[in-house]
Structures are given as C-alpha cells and as structure tokens.
C-alpha cells in the first residue's frame, strides 16, 4: 500500500451507538469504512450518508458476526471496493441484563454467540486478511472490573474477549499488526440506556470522578489512536471510563 492510498476499516456494529461514532471518526481520519450491521438497514444507511456528507467514503453490509460465511463476504466487499483491509473494529454486541438466578439461558446463548463467537469469527478473518501496518480493536467492558449485579452474562462474554485479544496479538508476531481491546464504562448509548430509570442512570454517571456518562465520541477517540498512530500499544485492554475502574 502506498502512502497515497486510504486505509480501510471494517466496523461491526457500526450503524448505531459507539460503533457508529467509531465509523464516523475513522472516516474523518481519512479511512474508507465498511459498516457491518445486524439488521437495521435504515440506521446503517443513515451512518453511511452521514459519513459521505462529511466527505468520507463508506459502505454498509448486513452480516451476522457469528456467521463465518457472512463475515467473509463483508471482508470480500471491503477488498473489492477499497483494495484491502487495514483496521478491524469489533463493536457489535448484545447486553441482556438479569441476575444469574433469573437469566433465561437462551439469552446466555445469544450473548455467547454474538459477543464471543462473533468476535472470534471476525478476528479469524482479520488475522487471515489484514494488511501489514494494520490494527484489530476488540470491545470489552469496564464491568469486568466493576462487577455490577445483573451484568454477569455480558461481563463473562467480554472477559473472553480480553483473553482472545492478547493471544491473537502474539499469534500475529512479525506481521506489524496490533491487537487491543477497548473497555468502555457507562456510555450514553441506547444499549446502555434502554431499560434503566433516571435514578439508575444518574447513579451510574457518578461512578467516575468526572461525574458524567461517557460519550460515544470519547470511546471513538481512543479507537482512532489505536487504529492509526498508537503502534506501540499491543496486546492490551484499555479501560475508557473516566476513572470509574
């Protein structure tokens, strides 16, 4: 890849929330972005339109991140349209909340499929196809440290992501590819806010000494660094939570 060619990023879960903020930030950084979305075509279209309106390049493709055939097709699209893949961001995730004693085990299986298998499948394609100088950024959560009740299934799935990431970093030895995980704290997205009353949101916003919820843009800033200039950070989990944990 010459210096004149744009880097190319694939962002799963890129149609809404933190994923969309990441997609927009990487596009603003000059990267061509392929947004992978699970089912909301309208939101994916809005994300692509916002990037293009700001002068960036973007495309969207529907894929279940746990389906290796669909994920392979998303990588194919990125290579065919933009010439290759340099950055992969795994922002897709689901977060059903319930005490361990009450969680429907079908929900546990859904969390496992999307958050663990999905990350693994996307990382597998990234490991095979990403270009030298590239970066893989997985998503964990600060709940792995905060140990909040009702978050057991979600935190367990993200602890698996934290295990996968540094192992993949070592497996890619010699290829100039970094692999890190980003672990947000409470962040003002639909994924976090849905189902919480105002008192709960207020209490959780005070968990960090900054005394506010994170913004998707706060997380995107860290991903932007890991996706570009921060080449000496590798095999790490970066907690992005304003000091909550």
| Least confident segment among 2-11, 73-82, 90-99 | 2-11
* Model confidence pLDDT, tens digit, residues 24-56: 999 999 999 999 999 899 999 999 999 999 999
Residue 245 falls within a domain, yes or no? no
Query: What local confidence, expressed as pLDDT, does residue 119 receive?
Result: 98
Residue 231 falls within a domain, yes or no? yes
- Confidence label for 63 from pLDDT (cuts 50, 70 and 90): very high
Domain that holds residue 163: 8-240
Query: What local confidence, expressed as pLDDT, does residue 198 receive?
Result: 87
Q: What percent of the chain has pLDDT over 70?
A: 98
Residue 3 falls within a domain, yes or no? no
Residue 197 falls within a domain, yes or no? yes
Residue 1 has pLDDT above 60, yes or no: no
Residue 66 falls within a domain, yes or no? yes
Q: Are 38 and 62 in contact (CB under 8 A)?
A: yes
Residue 1 falls within a domain, yes or no? no
Active site amino acids: 154
* Model confidence pLDDT, tens digit, residues 183-241: 999 888 877 777 788 888 888 889 999 999 999 999 999 999 999 999 999 999 999 99
Task: Identify the CATH number of the domain in which residue 36 sits.
Answer: 3.40.50.720
Structural domain count, the chain: 1
Q: Are 89 and 227 in contact (CB under 8 A)?
A: yes
How far is residue 178 from each of residues 13, 62, 136, 187, 190, measured CA to CA in Å? 21, 26, 6, 25, 30
Residue 81 falls within a domain, yes or no? yes
- Confidence label for 5 from pLDDT (cuts 50, 70 and 90): low
pTM for the whole structure: 0.94
């Amino acid at each position: 890849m010459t210096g004149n060619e744009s880097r190319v990023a694939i962002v799963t879960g890129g149609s809404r929330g933190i994923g969309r903020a990441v997609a927009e930030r990487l596009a603003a950084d000059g990267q061509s972005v392929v947004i992978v979305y699970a089912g909301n075509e309208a939101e994916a279209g809005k994300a692509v339109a916002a990037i293009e309106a700001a002068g960036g390049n973007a495309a969207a493709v529907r894929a279940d991140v746990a389906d290796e055939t669909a994920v392979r097709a998303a990588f194919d699209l990125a290579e065919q349209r933009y010439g290759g893949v340099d950055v992969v961001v795994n922002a897709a995730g689901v977060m059903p909340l319930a005490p361990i004693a009450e969680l429907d085990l079908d929900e546990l299986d859904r969390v496992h499929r999307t958050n663990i298998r999905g990350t693994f499948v996307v990382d597998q394609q990234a490991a095979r196809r990403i270009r030298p100088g590239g970066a893989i950024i997985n998503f964990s959560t600060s709940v792995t440290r905060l140990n909040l009740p009702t978050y057991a299934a979600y935190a367990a799935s993200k602890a698996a992501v934290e295990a996968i990431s540094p192992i993949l970093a070592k497996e890619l030895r010699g290829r100039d590819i970094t692999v890190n995980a980003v672990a947000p704290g409470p962040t003002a997205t639909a994924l976090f806010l849905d189902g919480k009353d105002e008192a709960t949101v207020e209490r959780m916003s005070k968990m960090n000494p900054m005394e506010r919820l994170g913004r998707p843009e706060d997380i995107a800033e860290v991903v932007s660094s890991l996706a570009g200039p921060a080449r000496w950070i590798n095999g790490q989990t970066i907690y992005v939570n304003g000091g909550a944990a």
